[in-house]
Structure 1
Amino acid sequence: MLKFNPEFLFAQQSVLLNATAQALDIDAAFAQVKRPQSEFRQWADVCESYWDAIRDEHFMHWQAAVRAQCGESDRLFTLAALNADALLLQHRAFQMDGAYVKTNDTLFDREAVLLQLTVWLLKYALRKSEKLDLLEAKWCRDYARQTLAYVACGIRRGLIPLGAAFWEEHVWPEYAQLSVLTQQIVAGQLYFNEEGLWQEQASERVLPVELKDDFGSLSYMPPMMRRIRCCVAYAAKEQWLACDDLQRFCVNDPAFAPMELLAQRYADWPSAYLLLRETLFTLLHRHGLAEMLDYSEPQDKELYFELASARALFWVADDLLANPEQNNLSSYWSRYLHITAFDPDETADVLLTRLQSYPPKIVQILLQSRNALIEPLLFKALGKAQLEALRHWCFSYLATHDADSEPAFGTIDIHTARPLLGELSLDDWAWLKEHYWPADLAKLLGAIVGEGAAALEKSAISKHAHVPMMALGLLPLKNEDECRTRYLQLKELYQLANQYGAQRQGNQRAAVQSGLINLASNAGFSSLGELEWQMEASLGDALQFLFSEQKIGDYSVWIELKGSDSGPAFLNSKGKCLASVPAGIKKEPAWLELKELWEELKAQRTRFIQVLETYLLEQRWLSIAQIELGIEHPLLGALIHQLVWVDEAGHCGVYRAGVLAHPTGVEIIEGGLRLAHPIEWLANGRLVQWQEWAVLIKLQQPFKQVFRELYVPTPAELEAATESQRYAGRWVSTRIAQGIFKSRNWRPSRWAEEATHTKRFVGDVSAHFDFDFKYHYFTEVDTLQTSAVTFTRNGEALALTAVPPLIFSEAMRDLDLLIARAMSSGSEEYSSSETVAARRALIKALQPALGGERIRIEDRQVHLQGHLSNYRINLASAHIHIEPGSYLCVIPAGQSVAKLQLPFEESDHRSSEIISKIVLLLADDKIKDESILQQIKGVVGEGAGRE
């Protein structure tokens, strides 16, 4: 074996160790070890204290110190990383034990600790794939090339792996720098200098390439081996080598043959390399897919790769012909059938003739591949060309609907599917069920034509089977009464999910949701919201008795509607209102029934609020007949009256007896109505007027409409064209963020290696929020750093100036909420300028009711004139200072807010806290809490003393 002598490394060893001592301050750490013990034990304790304690700043300090002391620091860093074990072995505390370095801490001294910590610093930085800013690309790219050379020559012991993210960000984009190394690998020998560094020029120090694997199946191919294979793929794509040389290399080392190149179409191959393409197909067929799997950075392995030729289809067919006992496509062979293109000589007629030469059973098994390109040919070969329209619909449906998609599997556009099914013969229906449709899809499609209706209903209601629940909404409807019956069945199944654990509960409710969406489409409604509006409103008459007094024992009980404070009200025989349930009726059946009905009504009210807020975002138009129907329902009617609507002529107002009332009068309604969004008033300058009027007439809206936080593009965003960095660079808790994303209807990317979350809006516009992400799944790590916000329309990037103002505002509002609640540090102090502006507008509108001229609002501060002192409250943090500057610690009890009705029900803890403190401090002469009084009087006393 060729021996290397890294003299420069050992000559500069003191530079590395001095930098380590300086960066980690180990002498100070040693001085703090106070226990009486031997010196080696003290040094061992110092070393152990740094285990898992090295941080970014340590490495950055160390790297800078080395550069300050060594003019050839890049060379030194590379040699140190390649020879980490050799560095340690300079000291007697480290010895080789087989393939690993063994540590004897009884021989530890200062030098041994410095050697160990130096190696740990290198490993820390090189292995941290998410810490790309730690590594300087130049020397690390050189180190990447050196490790490839070492691994290609069979030298694998002691190498520190470089993080996969660095390869993706800094090595592969500069792949041309690997061309000479790849040429040497393919040629079979590599050149090194005396220190052991690979070099491009020929030298006397030559090592042969040794790629014969000792790692078993390629399913466990080490990352560095995959990277060598990737280099070979680049060599073929960029034509770094002659075709003959690449063919020879692939035949000799088929595990490193770049099979992923077979995804390139025939026409995309240079004519000089077509023989290599044939060689790759031959090797693939000869050695089998299990040994030829493709791999991708950073560490996820694909279970297949695409093939731009149909020849693998016939390999599979021949295997099935040779093994007639097989009735299903094995997972092994299915990996061959990700076919994306045909060769020039593989015309439709040629392929069809070949397929027709096989028994029908084999062609039917090939249908299990679910391949868009070959499936139409398989149907033709089986004599089922008349089913092409239905086949195309089924294929598209299965490709785009699963448990995580939007819409999810089980939700079917009945108006598209029903005509296709109506054309089927009985024979075709039976054939599709047996050979093509998955069992669950067959049940859903059967429901559309009424097949097995009784069995589906029984399975859904008695067994709580999920697919039959979805199918309930697809069964044919005779009239509105049957639609209402189905609706109530599904609503009951939603409630019955409570008896199960969290996972089954979630799955059952998702199935019910799909069933309801199907029912809405089946009954002719444009959305589930419209169905629920119609069904629930039509049930309003049956609920009227709940809102009238009824005698239960000696008490009168009814449901009282008072916004967020709605609930049961109680009156005793003397006419006195009671604050809670009287003990005498707690076990009365009539009370228990009313209590249960109120719990259902609360859930229904929540659903109504969600529907109405969705209508606000979608700008959904409703007819006057729909509005009037909604008003007949006690709960929905109360909500409708608290919101501001706009008609087709642009008149805004609250709905009152068929007209729109507004700050300056009333308007006769023209056409339909939709909910007004305050972004419109911001544009026309009427926002403040609407806010003051809402407080004046004592609106209490179920969600923020008039006082909604509003967001518009900043000058920096407008200059950036398509990306907003407004929320970039924040570290957020992934688990909290995941919960907020779900509650606000943002969906994650379907691919595990991405963390982009997307929310779809009307007009085919979507908002996307990205993260700096290099992991398998979103919550794999506790925190992630946020990145840019972008918008698309039909998948095409949208300039921020072209994003509809409502959509921009609502997307940013969701993300502002996410940052405020999920930011890993500083979230208690975080408030965006838009949030502060909304609080300022709220307090200004409430100012007459709060304290009039004793309140002054300036930017992010509210100034208060109390009786004992003057105060200011920060609108972002809610912190209080006694003028001119003393901090006042107040933890409000919360009761003071109850005296002042806020103009919305939606939870806003910080705004409520600020208003509570305003009420408290304006009446500071009535404060009973001694801890608060002492703080105020102390500051006032000090001021008087100074005077």
Structure 2
Amino acid sequence: MQSRRPVPEQTERLTALRAFCDRALDDYPELDRYDEFEPDFWDGIDCLCIAADWVRQHPEDGPKALADGFVFPTVWDDLEDRRDQQRYGLQYRLCDAWITARPDAYALEQIGARLRHMLQFAFEDSDYPLPTDEDGPAYYRRSPDQAWAFPDVQACINRLSNYPSTPAWQTFAEWLLDGSWNREQPPSTPCSEQRKIADAYIYGHKEIKRIARGLMEAGRLDYPRFVRAANTWGRAMMFYSGDAGLGSDDVDLHQYADEEFDEDDSSDEAPKDMDVESSQSEEIPTGESAVASSELANFTVRYIEETLAGLPYNAERLADTFRSVEGYEARWLLQALAVIERLGMTPDNFLDGFGHTAAVLERFLLLQALPKDQSAELLAALTGFSRDTLLAALPYAGQASRVMLDALGWSDLRAFQREYLNMALAPRSGWGADLPNTLDETVGVVDRYLLDKALAEANPDHLREYLAALEPSHWAFPETRVLLDAYQGIGRPALEKKLARHAQAAMRIYGVLPVTDSDDVRQRYLRLKKLHNEVRKYGAERQANSHAAVQAGLENLARVAGYPSAIRLEWAMESEIAESALTAATIDGYDVTLVIDGLSPTLHISKAAKTLKTEPPAVRKHADFIALKAQQTQLKEQIARFGRTLETMMSSGEALALDDLKQLLKMPAVRLLLEQLIVQVDDAVLGWLDAATLTVTDLEGRQHVAERNMRIAHPFHLFTAGQLSAWQKDVVTHRRVQPFKQAFRELYLLTPAERDTGLWSNRFAGHRLKAQVAARLLQVRNWSTSNVEEIYYESKEHGIYALFNFLDTGHYLSETEHFTFDTIAFHRDQKAIPLEQVPPLLFSEVMRDADLLVSVAHAADDYSTSHETVQRRAELIGELIQELGLQNVGCEGHFLHITGRRANYRIHLGSAAIHIEPGNYLCIVPAGSGFAEFYLPFADTDKKMAEVLSKMFLLLDDMNITDSLILEQIQLG
């Protein structure tokens, strides 16, 4: 078979056109800055104007050359060098611009000839080298849609669909729609699905519709030809009409017209920066076109009716043809029911025995709308069908399902069906959701009042038959069935096995089990909390979805146990844990006591007033000691959990009502934590809390009674009150250890540059980050990282999303070794909001996360610690110096200056690097185990801060340094 190649006169024209394009790259100033990596480059180039210059220079054969240049492509791999690639990229655009704007008979002839060749010789020819004999006759290196360089089949159809409807165009359109060329594709494997050539072109729906409408307007498309076209092009020939009660759920068919090219993909022949005009969206028909569309819609209805009557013949092809159809009139449901009745379909064999036929019928059974005034008429019609037919159709009946329940005598199941489907299909409607893995914490949360009411109304026998009818269908929803069983106390052992495998649906369902005894709620609460920690070993998306599932499980447990919310359940459970805790025991003469030392619960063992360092063997194995050890572990976890909870409350600025505060203070751990934190009561007074009296003591020692509410003060509150420095001093003076950074927490305020940029911050732009470290850190700090296009933190209190924008990322965040921080922005309702409108606490905390990300995950050696971090460290050291009465040491800027007896030193507050004045570097490697001996006013230790302090104390007493390596450096300095 001879491949299609240009004849001599076409070759001559193409040679001249290539020469013109080569000169044009130098002659046209706008082409001087040609850059394949600039995606919008061609937007500013008037290709039609340049093409017109070519035609002016070659008035006789210039237009033909442009048509030839379009239909005889060059394969990308055959382009010799960079210049050749640029030249061909320009040539193709000139050709496409001209034939699109100036369609003529010759261009139509040439595009038609290429399209006819590609369809007729889909398996015998290719623009690329054909496979060798070793590949075997049944294996082709390319399917028909991959065998041709651009313009391929779909691009040619796209251009033709917009050409004038001349007699020549109409003749070719008839041939294209009739499908005489539509042969079967050779199977790639012996058991593969049989497909035809046209099946490879699934993106040409709107173009085929335009061509069909043009033929109809010309009076050259009768019903037999429509049937042949529908059998060839399937869905593309379906003209649904609201008058006929038909529509389509094909909102976006991903038109092939977005013709971008990738240099690395050998199946595309044009440069990757080539931007060809996209397909027009389907226009609204007017005039003659509207009449043609109406007639085509009538053809579609007739075709559907005939094909439904002919089922199961050709059902495999029809399943794709009708894949997107939507029915809005009951007559389509009734026609589908007639097919089910005729074929003897039942719930058990509907899918398994009639696969493609069932797929067709599902589309017409799924009624999209049913006005109430039509329900009686439909009910009367349904009584003419057998029970098996109604049961087979019931799962797919859509808006008609309630009427079908009535026809079956199951009106008592209406409420149950509604609740069942609401649980299964949340948060999205449609087939096959079934408690999906999602970030939505409401999925799987049961409305107990409505479900109880629905179950009470349901006849048990009807319910059993209803669920049996759903079992073989897509609507069986096995996870929702497990939830329903669990709600009724069935299947707990199997559910707990799924929990052990961290199944997310099981986490959501676990809370709905009925309460079995007084300790059941607490044990399930603790298990869900344990699961929350265990899933941190997974990737970002699974971890986030699992945390949402745990939260849904806690919400279900709260409702089962009678609490108004998961938060109230948590407080109640933690109170119970604290109140029922064993805190002391006497074992064989040994007194064992659980005490809280600082923020850490420890076991003290003594005998005869003598404290022991380790527990004796006789004590270690005793049941009471084991219980105390377990309680110690629980208390540690409780302190950690509530430490995080209180820090979150501080970061959000949440205020606690007095009744909620009193409940929290029942827990010793919470009392301990809150009494080490600066609080604000009644939105006014700042001070230390006395849990026993519900009073706060301010800086002057005055006591104030809390009357309405209390919040944990954020540094912003201290700053705006003008008391930040005073509270820092008070913390250090009283040697308080706060459970997390509060008084010395980094505070981030808007900078003048951020006020100027308005909608985004460039504060950390340009920093290169280690991808794996950054991804893990973001996960831990509750940032969503499942989509690299949107790395966000959701502030539910304000309805605001904070977005980190990164450059150089892959498909997922840790795919590449490094990526670059770009901008930070805030959105509400999918719109960017000015930084000045972002709540100050949220802004500060987001910037703190960004600063932490850059400081921990930075990839460059020259990273400089942020101003806010250095400022907090300087404030802390200044307070410690004053409190301890240290001499010969002081802070200035980013440095700590120390006057030693051997030399003078300076320590950088960001990096902890030491220099001997005036500039010699002093290398001292810190001992990791020594940080704990230095007082810091917060429990979540700043290791770099501890390192600075350890070096400061060492150098203040430099006469007692004995390390020879350090002494040698000092002497040389």
TM-score by length of 2: 0.65
* 2:581 partner SS: helix
Aligned counterparts, 1:467-546, within 5 A? 467-476=505-514, 483-484=521-522, 486-488=524-526, 490=528, 512-523=550-561, 525=563, 527-545=565-583
* 1:857 partner SS: strand
Deviation at 1:671, TM superposition (A): 1.4
Give the corresponding residue for 2:290: none
**Distance in 1, Cα, partners of 2:627 & 2:464:** 49
* 1:442 partner SS: helix
Give the corresponding residue for 2:910: 876
* Equivalent pair of 1:414/1:522 in contact (CA under 8 Å): no
Aligned counterparts, 1:634-645, within 5 A? 634-645=668-679
- 2:752 pairs with 715, 718, 721, which one? 715
Deviation at 1:897, TM superposition (A): 3.8
Aligned counterparts, 1:91-102, within 5 A? none
* Equivalent pair of 1:710/1:809 in contact (CA under 8 Å): yes
**Distance in 2, Cα, partners of 1:139 & 1:476:** 68
Cα separation, partners in 2 of 1:653 and 1:384, compared to 1, 3 Å: farther
**Distance in 2, Cα, partners of 1:692 & 1:372:** 71
Give the corresponding residue for 2:665: 631
Answer yes or no: is 1:726 the counterpart of 2:749: no
Give the corresponding residue for 1:460: 496
> Which amino acid in 2 is paired with 1:877?
S
> Which amino acid in 2 is paired with 1:702?
P
Range with greater deviation from structure 2 (379-388 or 659-668):
379-388
Answer yes or no: is 1:414 the counterpart of 2:447: yes
Give the corresponding residue for 1:381: 400
- 1:688 pairs with 725, 729, 733, which one? 725
Range with greater deviation from structure 2 (457-466 or 533-542):
457-466
Deviation at 1:157, TM superposition (A): 6.2
Range with greater deviation from structure 2 (855-864 or 845-854):
845-854
**Distance in 1, Cα, partners of 2:201 & 2:653:** 53
Give the corresponding residue for 2:97: 180
**Count of matched residue positions in the alignment of Structure 1 and Structure 2:** 788
* Equivalent pair of 1:624/1:673 in contact (CA under 8 Å): yes
Give the corresponding residue for 1:33: none
- 2:741 pairs with 684, 688, 704, which one? 704
Give the corresponding residue for 1:397: 427
* Equivalent pair of 2:769/2:818 in contact (CA under 8 Å): yes
* Structure 1 residues 770-799: Cα deviation after superposition (integer angstroms, max 9, x where no partner): 233574333332223333322122333322
Deviation at 1:190, TM superposition (A): 8.1
Cα separation, partners in 2 of 1:564 and 1:444, compared to 1, 3 Å: same
**Distance in 2, Cα, partners of 1:461 & 1:635:** 33
> Which residues of structure 2 form unaligned runs of 5+?
52-64, 129-139, 182-196, 238-252, 266-278, 284-292, 351-356, 371-395, 405-413
* Structure 1 residues 578-607: Cα deviation after superposition (integer angstroms, max 9, x where no partner): 3x6678866676655544443343333322
Give the corresponding residue for 1:158: 77
Cα separation, partners in 2 of 1:230 and 1:819, compared to 1, 3 Å: farther
Give the corresponding residue for 1:845: 879
> Which amino acid in 1 is paired with 2:838?
V
Give the corresponding residue for 2:859: 824
Deviation at 1:324, TM superposition (A): 6.3
**Distance in 2, Cα, partners of 1:808 & 1:863:** 33
* Structure 1 residues 373-403: Cα deviation after superposition (integer angstroms, max 9, x where no partner): 9487942334449669655675442459966
Give the corresponding residue for 1:784: 819
* 2:941 partner SS: coil
Cα separation, partners in 2 of 1:919 and 1:74, compared to 1, 3 Å: same
Amino-acid identity (%): 24
* Structure 1 residues 796-818: Cα deviation after superposition (integer angstroms, max 9, x where no partner): 33222211111111122222222
Cα separation, partners in 2 of 1:250 and 1:441, compared to 1, 3 Å: farther
* Structure 1 residues 684-722: Cα deviation after superposition (integer angstroms, max 9, x where no partner): 322222222222222212222222222223222222232
**Distance in 2, Cα, partners of 1:523 & 1:701:** 34
Aligned counterparts, 1:305-704, within 5 A? 333=319, 337=323, 359=340, 374=368, 378-384=397-403, 390=419, 391=421, 395-398=425-428, 405-407=438-440, 411-412=444-445, 414=447, 418=451, 421=454, 425-426=458-459, 427=462, 431=466, 433-434=470-471, 437-443=475-481, 446=484, 450-451=487-488, 453-456=489-492, 459-460=495-496, 464=500, 466=503, 467-476=505-514, 483-484=521-522, 486-488=524-526, 490=528, 512-523=550-561, 525=563, 527-545=565-583, 548=584, 550=585, 557-563=592-598, 565-571=600-606, 575=610, 578=613, 594-656=628-690, 657=692, 658-664=694-700, 665-704=702-741
* 1:878 partner SS: coil
* Equivalent pair of 2:791/2:803 in contact (CA under 8 Å): yes
> Which amino acid in 2 is paired with 1:677?
H
> Which amino acid in 1 is paired with 2:525?
Y
Deviation at 1:745, TM superposition (A): 0.9
**Distance in 2, Cα, partners of 1:274 & 1:701:** 80
Cα separation, partners in 2 of 1:619 and 1:497, compared to 1, 3 Å: closer
> Which amino acid in 2 is paired with 1:738?
A
Deviation at 1:159, TM superposition (A): 4.2
> Which residues of structure 1 form unaligned runs of 5+?
14-66, 79-124, 127-131, 192-201, 940-947
Range with greater deviation from structure 2 (242-251 or 481-490):
242-251
**Distance in 1, Cα, partners of 2:146 & 2:830:** 37
* 2:924 partner SS: coil
> Which amino acid in 1 is paired with 2:713?
A
**Distance in 1, Cα, partners of 2:800 & 2:92:** 37
* Equivalent pair of 1:494/1:509 in contact (CA under 8 Å): yes
> Which amino acid in 1 is paired with 2:400?
A
Cα separation, partners in 2 of 1:781 and 1:738, compared to 1, 3 Å: same
Give the corresponding residue for 1:117: none
Give the corresponding residue for 1:94: none
Cα separation, partners in 2 of 1:731 and 1:514, compared to 1, 3 Å: same
> Which amino acid in 1 is paired with 2:750?
P
Give the corresponding residue for 1:43: none
Deviation at 1:272, TM superposition (A): 8.1
Cα separation, partners in 2 of 1:334 and 1:822, compared to 1, 3 Å: farther
**Distance in 2, Cα, partners of 1:605 & 1:330:** 62
Cα separation, partners in 2 of 1:882 and 1:506, compared to 1, 3 Å: same
Give the corresponding residue for 1:928: 962
* Equivalent pair of 1:724/1:789 in contact (CA under 8 Å): yes
* Equivalent pair of 2:322/2:363 in contact (CA under 8 Å): no
* Structure 1 residues 348-381: Cα deviation after superposition (integer angstroms, max 9, x where no partner): 5776676676649789968978999948794233
Answer yes or no: is 1:885 the counterpart of 2:915: no
**Distance in 2, Cα, partners of 1:926 & 1:371:** 90
Aligned counterparts, 1:206-355, within 5 A? 211=118, 213=122, 214=126, 221-222=145-146, 241-242=163-164, 248=173, 251=177, 260=203, 286-287=232-233, 333=319, 337=323
**Distance in 2, Cα, partners of 1:324 & 1:571:** 86
Cα separation, partners in 2 of 1:510 and 1:139, compared to 1, 3 Å: closer
TM-score by length of 1: 0.67
Deviation at 1:821, TM superposition (A): 2.1
* Equivalent pair of 1:403/1:409 in contact (CA under 8 Å): no
> Which amino acid in 2 is paired with 1:728?
A
* Structure 1 residues 106-156: Cα deviation after superposition (integer angstroms, max 9, x where no partner): xxxxxxxxxxxxxxxxxxx97xxxxx47998799999xx999998953542
Cα separation, partners in 2 of 1:325 and 1:72, compared to 1, 3 Å: closer
